[in-house]
Amino acid sequence: MAALLLACQTFGPRSLRYGRGTYNTAIQQTNSEQLLLNLVRLRYRDAPLFLEVTSISSSLSLELGAAVGGNVGTVGRSVAPGTAVTYIERPTITYAPLQGSRFGTQFLSPIQLSDILLLYHAGWAIDRIFRVFVQKLGPLQNAPRASGPTPSHAPEYEAFFTATELMRSLWVDGLVDLNYLPSVAGDALTLTFTRRPDAEGRVARLCALFGLAEPRYTITLTESPRPGEGAVLLVPRSLLGGMYYVSHGVEVPAEDYAVGRVPVTRDAKGAVFDWARLTGTLMRVRHGTQEPKNAYVSVYYRGLWFWIADNDLDSKSTFSFIAQVLELQSGEIKGAAPLLTLPIAAE
């Protein structure tokens, strides 16, 4: 009885300390693997699928047993009673596939300008936000057809990248701020630049790229198809569009190109376009036949291992960035069906 009383006093706290951490780690790791798997699927034009863990419940129990032990020999005999305490956990995990209108709302709707501001104030670099989730700024194209399955013709992106590099340099120097501007005509963002001699040239060049008649230290970025004076049209991507965009950083074997498993993109001269020119500083997913040893996250798909290297900080940052937007867009699951519930029996 004393053993049972002692076990009951320590059982709950110990199970919480062990169980919460292990479940947290398992969910985080499997979420990362699922996201990487879907990026690889998009590269191969396979349909993505997300299963969300909607609930985890676990029943914990103690079983007390009695035992008698001893020894019998020529020297003497001894018999001693004993007790055995067994810890049993029976978790139940519930999954819900993302589909129907909920999939459309979360993955196909353009990202909100207010969400772009949240990401900016969360500390994400301004150029990373715009490169992944903005496909047009005024006359500047950021490979808009890369927001879907890999196009057959090389995208237009050079001038857009020049603009985002200028924005990043101003951001690094603390000379630019991004704000949200709600209005009846349509929500907008404002880029505000600090008036300093070392900013003048960059601001003037940026305004010229945006097609503005003269340099301005406050620029309105709007979704309105007819932006007014001093305003620039901003066309955001959806979450799925951003995932398609970075999925072009998934490297695939040459034989998959040869047999047509992966589409080939060519430039105006007919040469194969290298997507690393767009995604080289955003995302690189390597592949190989052997399971990687030093991977940040890895998955096995189509007979190959795909992974992000643990020392590839740019790719890890973009991957975490996409994961945060995925959480930001997820919202609350209401009436999701069908549900898949797995009771796990402990032996």
Per DSSP, the three-state class of 227 is coil
pLDDT band at 54 (very low <50, low <70, confident <90, very high): confident
pLDDT band at 284 (very low <50, low <70, confident <90, very high): very high
C-alpha 32/C-alpha 322 separation (Å) is: 10
Going edge to edge, which strands form the sheet with 304-309? Answer: 286-288, 304-309, 295-301
pLDDT of residue 53: 78
Per DSSP, the three-state class of 300 is strand
Count of C-beta atoms within a 10 Å radius of residue 139: 12
Q: Which long-range contacts (CB under 8 A, 24 or more apart) does 263-272 make?
A: 263/45, 263/149, 263/150, 263/151, 263/152, 264/152, 265/150, 265/151, 265/152, 265/153, 265/154, 265/155, 266/152, 266/153, 266/154, 267/153, 267/154, 268/153, 268/154
Residue 248, sorted as left (phi over 0), alpha (psi -120 to 50) or beta, turns out to be alpha
pLDDT band at 271 (very low <50, low <70, confident <90, very high): very high
Per-residue tokens: 197: 């001699």
Kindly list the distances between the CA atom of residue 27 and the CA atoms of 40, 46, 54, in Å, as whole numbers in the listed order. 20, 24, 11
pLDDT tens track for 57-100: 766 665 655 555 556 555 556 555 655 656 677 777 787 777 77
Per DSSP, the three-state class of 29 is helix
Kindly list the distances between the CA atom of residue 86 and the CA atoms of 3, 14, 66, 247, 304, in Å, as whole numbers in the listed order. 11, 14, 11, 48, 42
pLDDT at 334 over 50: no
pLDDT > 90: percent of the chain: 61
Per-residue tokens: 60: 């914990």
pLDDT at 8 over 60: no
Count of C-beta atoms within a 10 Å radius of residue 262: 18
Which comes out higher in pLDDT, residue 340 or 249? 249
Exposure string of 153-191, with b = 16+ CB inside 10 Å and e = fewer, is ebbebeebbebbebbbebbeeebbebebeeeeeebbbbb
**Which stretches of 248-312 are DSSP H helices?**
254-258, 276-279
What is the arithmetic mean of pLDDT over 178-200? 87
Domain boundaries, the chain: 2-68+80-98+336-343, 113-236
Which comes out higher in pLDDT, residue 334 or 145? 145
What is the arithmetic mean of pLDDT over 179-194? 84
